[in-house]
């Protein structure tokens, strides 16, 4: 059981953060389309660089376990905000599912905030003695 506990943390961090990291990278390569999508929801396309920075860097930080609690907190808030802005059309079942996915991700990220990064995290190397 100890091995399961040890390896579940880094694998879990990887899996929960990968969606953000990959979404940020995708936004770089589909910049104009993403900017147009944001503007269709009355969001400034000028916010897109901030969105990319948050998704890529906070996602990567969680994957490697650096500043995990802060990064998870930021991505949890990002997930809730984007759910409310972009996926609140509950009449559309796909949008409802995407809304609930974002809320579920926020919950998982808040567990990282509460419990920390677990094993194999850079945060563990910089703990106060």
Neighbours of 2 (CB within 10 A): 6
Instruction: Dump pLDDT digits (tens) for 6-52.
Output: 899 999 999 999 999 999 999 999 999 999 999 999 999 999 999 99
d(CA 91, CA 113): 32
Distances from the Cα of 4 to the Cα of 1, 65, 115, 118, 123, angstroms:
5, 18, 16, 12, 20
pLDDT at 129 over 60: no
Return mean pLDDT, the chain: 95
Instruction: Dump pLDDT digits (tens) for 67-92.
Output: 999 999 999 999 999 999 999 999 99
Q: Against a cut of 0.85, is the pTM above it?
A: yes
d(CA 71, CA 24): 14
């Amino acid at each position: 059981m100890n091995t399961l506990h040890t390896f579940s943390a880094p694998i879990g961090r990887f899996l929960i953060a990968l969606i953000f990291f990959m979404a940020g990278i995708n936004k770089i390569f589909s910049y104009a389309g993403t900017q147009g999508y944001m503007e269709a929801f009355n969001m400034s396309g000028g916010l897109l660089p901030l969105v990319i920075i948050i998704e890529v860097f906070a996602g990567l930080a969680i994957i490697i376990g650096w500043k995990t609690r802060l990064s998870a907190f930021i991505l949890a808030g990002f997930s809730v905000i984007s759910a409310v802005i972009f996926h609140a059309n509950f009449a559309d079942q796909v949008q409802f599912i995407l809304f609930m996915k974002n809320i579920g991700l926020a919950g998982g990220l808040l567990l990282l905030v509460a419990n920390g990064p677990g094993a194999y995290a850079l945060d563990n190397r910089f703990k106060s003695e």
